[in-house]
Amino acid sequence: MAAIPPDPHADRTPAVDDLPLDAASPDGRAAAPVGLEPEGMAANVLEREIEHLMERFPGVCDEETVRAVVMDSYAQLAATSRHPDMLPSTTVQHASARLRAMAINQGSIESRHPRVLFVCHGNAGRSQMAAALLENRTGGAVKSRSAGTSPAGEVISTAFDAMSEIGIPLHHSYTKGVDEDVLKAAEVVVLFDGAEPFDIPEGTEVQEWSVPSIRGMSLEQVRGVRDALDLQVRGLIADLGEEGSDAPPPGEGAPVA
């Protein structure tokens, strides 16, 4: 098994990647606050997307519920996001995942695929990489999501670099918290070191993976974490009784967040 590099900043102040939105940026400037309600172009985009989501989930939720989920998703992501220009698209992704989970929980949608939720502290590295690896290695036969107990607002850049090297880019990724419906829909929850305690539904399988945060690591160290995660993901695939691929397929892979 590939050795997992130690966290070089385990006992130090969090790096910029783990700081909240209102903390100082690397050049010393405070990050500009983002309103928790969409305005202007963002509001127009989300209005159109509400109609599309109702078409995607007919009979699952009424317009009022869909609208509430979309607006709540926007507020959640806007509270920590460092990329406000991406909020409309990430809001739609998040709302769609939540609505699908609601439908699964209600029995309105039959899901024949195992569902796994990876949870770490900031949802900025480890959980994102693990979720992408799982879907890629199973060709989408296992559905994965990721979340953080304290969303960092931005995925760590070296996670993008390390995953792109093996043909699994994370350009669709965004940080988000643990959603109640997504959590309830998960059959397996994988907890990483540093995730704060939260209630997990009874009957859900829980696995704890001891993998250090990648914040502050060099790209070479992050590659080591990536490779170790890959081995653990393959073990999880075997536990689920699914068949995994020996190597990532060419191309971009499935978008996972």
Q: How far apart are CA 224 and CA 162, in angstroms?
A: 9
pLDDT digit string (tens) for 75-112? Answer: 999 999 999 999 999 999 999 999 999 999 999 988 88
User: Taking the C-alpha atoms of 100, 55, 65 and 119 in order, what is their torsion angle to the nearest 10 degrees?
Assistant: 20
- Is residue 137 a contact partner of residue 254, using CB atoms and an 8 Å limit? no
Half-sphere exposure of 257 (CA within 13 A, CB side): 22
When pLDDT is cut at 50, 70 and 90, the band that residue 201 belongs to is: very high
Kindly report the backbone phi and psi dihedral angles of residue 115, in degrees, each rounded to the nearest multiple of 5, phi listed first.
Answer: -125, 125
Q: How far apart are CA 155 and CA 92, in angstroms?
A: 18
Q: How far apart are CA 119 and CA 122, in angstroms?
A: 9
R_g over Cα of the chain: 18
pLDDT digit string (tens) for 31-69? Answer: 445 578 888 999 999 999 999 999 998 888 899 999 999
Mean pLDDT to the nearest integer, 106-120? 93
pLDDT: is 72 or 59 the higher one? 72
pLDDT score recorded for residue 34: 58
pLDDT score recorded for residue 67: 96
pLDDT score recorded for residue 17: 39
The answer for residues whose C-beta is within 8 angstroms of residue 241's C-beta and 6 or more apart is: none
pLDDT score recorded for residue 246: 55
- Is residue 150 a contact partner of residue 252, using CB atoms and an 8 Å limit? no
pLDDT score recorded for residue 166: 97
- Is residue 146 a contact partner of residue 174, using CB atoms and an 8 Å limit? no
Q: How far apart are CA 103 and CA 60, in angstroms?
A: 6
Q: Is 207 helix (H, G, I), strand (E, B) or coil?
A: strand
Place of tokens 């997307």: 49
Write down all domains in the chain, each with its CATH number in brackets. Answer: 36-110 (1.10.8), 112-257 (3.40.50.2300)
User: Per-residue pLDDT for 8 more than 80?
Assistant: no
pLDDT digit string (tens) for 145-156? Answer: 999 999 999 999
Tokens of 5: 């590099």
Packing angle of the helix pair 219-239, 157-164 (nearest 10 deg): 70
State the chain's mean pLDDT as an integer: 85
